[in-house]
Structure 1
Amino acid sequence: MSNKNDGGKRSARERMQAERAKQEAAARKRRQLTVILAALVVIAAAVVIGIVVQNGRSSSYNAAADAPAGTVGNTRLLIPVGGTTAPSTVTIYEDPRCPACEQFETGMKSTINQLLAQGKIQIQYHIASFIDRHDGGKGSKNAANALACAQNVGLFHNYHDVLYANQPDETNDAWADKTILISLAKQVPGLDSPAFESCVNNNTYGSWVTAVQSDFDKSGYNSTPTVLLNGTSAYSTYNGEDISPANFTKWVDTANKGKPLASIPSASAQALASPTAHNNLPASAGAGHS
């Protein structure tokens, strides 16, 4: 009888211990779930805050107050070069640090400047700055702001050509040093001034630079240079033909057939028609930076 009672007591204790272990395991799971849920809440909050901050940055841009003079478009994010009545529009998305953009500019500058001087095209530039984000650094944004400073005094195109002629290696964030950008302005008559230096040093058009990049992010394009002729991609092929000075001229002339050309002042036309770049596209020019 005693043995039977002892066995019953042990069995009861074992059941109680098993039940207690089960309850403790359930409690641990509840605590773990609570910790996980708390972590997810923190992560979600961080994501929301990030989105709000980014949206705030985009919405802080005021086209009327923050864009350099002469920019165009609904939110004044585009820099136009050439006659406003030109029959064809060339749209160019470029990042100042992009080596493929430098190849395009070196190879096509003479041809493009001649087409501008003849009143055949207007260029609309989108100055992107995403390489800073990909490679690290500040050079793209600093250079984009400096280009906006040049645009504000009507010297964007000249300074643009100088920057690409003096572009550092992509992995060398040389333009993080704003004094280099200021020094390069000495190569553009009329640009080097205390006002330009202040504009570069104070990042006067920083919000505009951010807005232009945000617009590029939303554009559906993901590499530079992206070049469009009347809205159709021209880089690196157009209607199945590779881009080259001769082909680009042919494409423009075909698009312009029967259309009046823009009237360009003789002094401006003469300056554009006397470029210093070679009129040959480098053999290495190909897909843009992505």
Structure 2
Amino acid sequence: MSEKNRDGKRNARDRLAVEREKQRAADRRRRTLIVGASVVCVLGLAAVIGIVAANSGKDSGSTASGPVVAPSGAQGKDSLAIPVGKDSAKSTLTVWEDFRCPACKAFETTYRPTIHELTDSGQMRVEYHLVTLIDGNLGGSGSKRAANAAACAQDAGKFRDYHDVLYENQPEETDDAYSSNAKLIELAGKVPGLVTPTFRACVNDGTHDSWVAKSNKAFQSGGFSGTPTVLLNGKNIYQDSTLTPAKLKQMVEEANKK
């Protein structure tokens, strides 16, 4: 083989190797973007764990004092779950979420129509657990203030509608707009009949702050990696990359047949 041919083949192999490395790098970037944009608001990073540990007992999401006042109709252990749907439903979807968490908004936006359909038809009930992960990670009090306001809406029998309004109007993750009670009451105006003197007082007085703090502690001790954490009949399903609204509906229908 001539020297020229050997050089040509070597150059071709080198170019191929370079192209393969470029493709691998692109694949890595794509996977990173997918995980960062849509999976969870993560608690598990070492740096974040260090911050949370250092701020344990310090941040506004975990220091609420006073009696623990659960919202009306709260259920489960320590009355930390806000139920939506019929008690007679055979399947239960458990959702741990934070009103400041963008991944929680992504989950709600994608799955809300299906969740509403399944709860309205009596096939499934949802148990919402409210946490203050973003307050702990980024500072501020928007997670706690919004969770308290949502609990106040539960007292008025309007949790689901207000819950949806909060996600539809969610600010940027670094914008602590929900720390303003006035903003939360303004958004409550989008839910007919919710803004009453009782609701205003509940929001402004932080009636359920200690309950929110207790819910957040339950999340921390539960060993969950981030929000949203979604369990169907006790099984974590949101980590399944193949999950879709249609698959969720199928899973509920199959579970209800058993």
Task: Please give the range of the TM-score, normalised by the shorter of the 2 chains.
Answer: 0.7 to 0.9
1:17-50: CA deviation from partner (whole Å, max 9, x where unpaired): xxxxxxxxxxxxxxxxxxxxxxxxxxxxxxxxx9
What does residue 248 of structure 2 align with?
248
Structure 1 length as normaliser, TM-score? 0.66
Deviation (angstroms), 1:137: 0.6
Match of 1:161 among 160, 164, 174: 164
- How many residues align? The count is 202
Contact 1:58 1:214 in 2 (8 A): no
Contact 1:61 1:208 in 2 (8 A): no
Runs of 4+ residues deviating >3 angstroms? 50-54, 57-63
What does residue 76 of structure 1 align with?
79
Deviation (angstroms), 1:58: 8.5
Identity across matched positions, percent? 47
Q: What amino acid maps onto 2:165 in structure 1? A: V
Contact 2:63 2:213 in 1 (8 A): yes
What does residue 154 of structure 2 align with?
151
Deviation (angstroms), 1:98: 0.4
Match of 1:138 among 128, 141, 145: 141
User: Please, which runs of 5 or more residues in structure 2 have no aligned partner?
Assistant: 1-54
Deviation (angstroms), 1:76: 0.6
What does residue 19 of structure 2 align with?
none
Find out whether 1:205 has 2:208 as its counterpart: yes
SS at match of 2:170: coil
What does residue 23 of structure 1 align with?
none
Q: What amino acid maps onto 2:243 in structure 1? A: I
Distance in 1 (CA, whole Å) between partners of 2:231 and 2:168 is 22
When Rg is computed on C-alpha atoms for both structures, the one with the higher figure is 1
Deviation (angstroms), 1:172: 0.6
Is the alpha carbon distance of 1:60 and 1:255 closer, same or farther for their aligned partners in structure 2, counting shifts above 3 Å? same
1:115-148: CA deviation from partner (whole Å, max 9, x where unpaired): 0111110100100112111001110000000011
Contact 1:93 1:226 in 2 (8 A): yes
What does residue 106 of structure 2 align with?
103
Q: What amino acid maps onto 1:183 in structure 2? A: E
Deviation (angstroms), 1:62: 5.1
Find out whether 1:227 has 2:230 as its counterpart: yes
Is the alpha carbon distance of 1:141 and 1:111 closer, same or farther for their aligned partners in structure 2, counting shifts above 3 Å? same
Distance in 2 (CA, whole Å) between partners of 1:125 and 1:98 is 15
RMSD (Å) for aligned C-alpha atoms: 2.2
SS at match of 1:242: coil
User: Please, which runs of 5 or more residues in structure 1 have no aligned partner?
Assistant: 1-49, 259-290
Distance in 1 (CA, whole Å) between partners of 2:208 and 2:101 is 20
What does residue 122 of structure 1 align with?
125
Is the alpha carbon distance of 1:75 and 1:224 closer, same or farther for their aligned partners in structure 2, counting shifts above 3 Å? same
What does residue 181 of structure 2 align with?
178
What does residue 257 of structure 1 align with?
257
Q: What amino acid maps onto 2:149 in structure 1? A: A
SS at match of 2:140: coil
Deviation (angstroms), 1:222: 2.3
